[in-house]
Amino acid sequence: MKTLGIMIKRNIKLFFKDKGMFFTSLITPLILLVLYVSFLGNVYRDSFIMNMPDILLKNEEFVKVIDGLVASQLASSLLAVCCITVAFCSNMLMVQDKVNGAYQDLLIAPAKKTTLSLAYFISTFISTLIICMIAGGCCLGYMATVGWYMSVSDVFLLLLDIIILVTFGTVLSSIIGYFLTSQGQISAVGTIISSCYGFICGAYMPISSFSEGLQKVISFLPGTYGTALLRNHAMQGAFKELERLGLPKESIIDFKNGVDCNIYFFDKQVPVSTMFVILIGTVIALIMIYVLINLIKTKKSEKA
């Protein structure tokens, strides 16, 4: 256990001291932030108020809720991306160790390979969680300044979403990273994840704006439900407020469909509880796959 603890400490320190790796992990969330500040925020705001009756738009309280809604959409998008990209960048330490020979140096010692793998896993989880919790805190702070509509349970559920998504990102990156052995592969995976994940999880553009075929494909990806969970817990307070201010239920459903709070699996709406089940189930399945890969690899090397 002490070996595991010291190796976790080593990995976390390395991640935060390697400025390149640390800042690379923040590129996608930063791009998202720039997009929102420069135009995406306004685009969403305009789309939200489009077709709204004038009487509502003249209500200052209503406009404030809309601003709060945009802020919570930014927050949920940012967190959805952060949980995955930071985990991937943090876990690239495992591959970097293989590339620069440090892993060979670790294996020359009698510590078990599984201990090293577990150390990478836990340290990635902790590093990612630290960053995502700080990002979550900043997002909540921003939402509080723009317009706060979240309940205490919403905040806790949002934090729970972050924890589950970070675990998902950690285990997914652990499985992929296990098979990577070169700097080129690190760059390729890093680039793909940074550029693509924001799109496929609906952070840059709502999934509802994609073509029907693509929506169907995306509905098979577990990360989609992670984004939807964050959206629901960040935005449901604002939706309740809109309802209180007189916005018809049908309009709120349209709103929810438009911002991916409602996800449809072959035209059937997926309830929030099912989203949790899908995401947690995926995490458990991926953890089992990762353990299995490690066991098979360890047994193979013992046999050889």
Partner 1 sequence: MNIIEITNLSKSFKNIKAVQNLSIKVKEGELYAFLGLNGAGKSTTISIMCGELDADEGTVIIDGIDTKKDVQKIKNKIGVVYQKSVLDKDLSVYDNLQSRAALYGIYGSDFEKRLKELSELFLIDNLMKRTYGKLSGGEKRRIDIIRALIHKPKILILDEPTTGLDPQTRKLVWDIVNNLRKEEKITVFLTTHYMEEVTDADYVVILDSGIKSAEGTPLELKNKYTNDFITLYSVNLEDVQKLGLPYEKLPDAYRIEVKNTKEATKLIMEKPHLFVDYEITKGKMDDVFLSVTGKKLPGGLNK
Residue type, 269: Q
| Residue with Cβ nearer partner 1 (5 or 246) | 5
Min dist CB 89 to partner 1, Å, is: 15
Rounded to whole angstroms, how far apart are CA atoms 141 and 84?
A: 22
User: Per-residue x/- marks for partner 1, 74-113, CB under 8 A?
Assistant: --------------------------xxx-xxxxxxxx--
| Residue with Cβ nearer partner 1 (6 or 30) | 6
| Residue pair 83/168 in contact by the 8 Å Cβ criterion | yes
23 burial via Cβ count (<10 Å: 0-12, 13-18, 19+): exposed
Please report, as residue ranges, which positions from 6 to 35 form the binding site for partner 1 (by CB under 8 A): 6-7, 9-10, 13-14, 17-18
Min dist CB 109 to partner 1, Å, is: 3
Min dist CB 181 to partner 1, Å, is: 15
| Residue with Cβ nearer partner 1 (59 or 100) | 100
Structure tokens at 50: 């489009």
* Helices 60-100, 113-146: crossing angle, 10 deg rounding: 160
Q: Count of CB atoms within 10 A of residue 179's CB?
A: 10
| Residue with Cβ nearer partner 1 (109 or 152) | 109
Q: Which of 2, 145, 152, 266 binds partner 1 (CB under 8 A)?
A: 2
| Residue with Cβ nearer partner 1 (151 or 301) | 301
Please report, as residue ranges, which positions from 111 to 150 form the binding site for partner 1 (by CB under 8 A): 111
Concatenating the DSSP letter of every residue in 98-143 gives HHHTHHHHHHTSSS-HHHHHHHHHHHHHHHHHHHHHHHHHHHHHHH
Residues contributing to the site for partner 1 (CB under 8 A): 2-3, 6-7, 9-10, 13-14, 17-18, 100-102, 104-111, 304
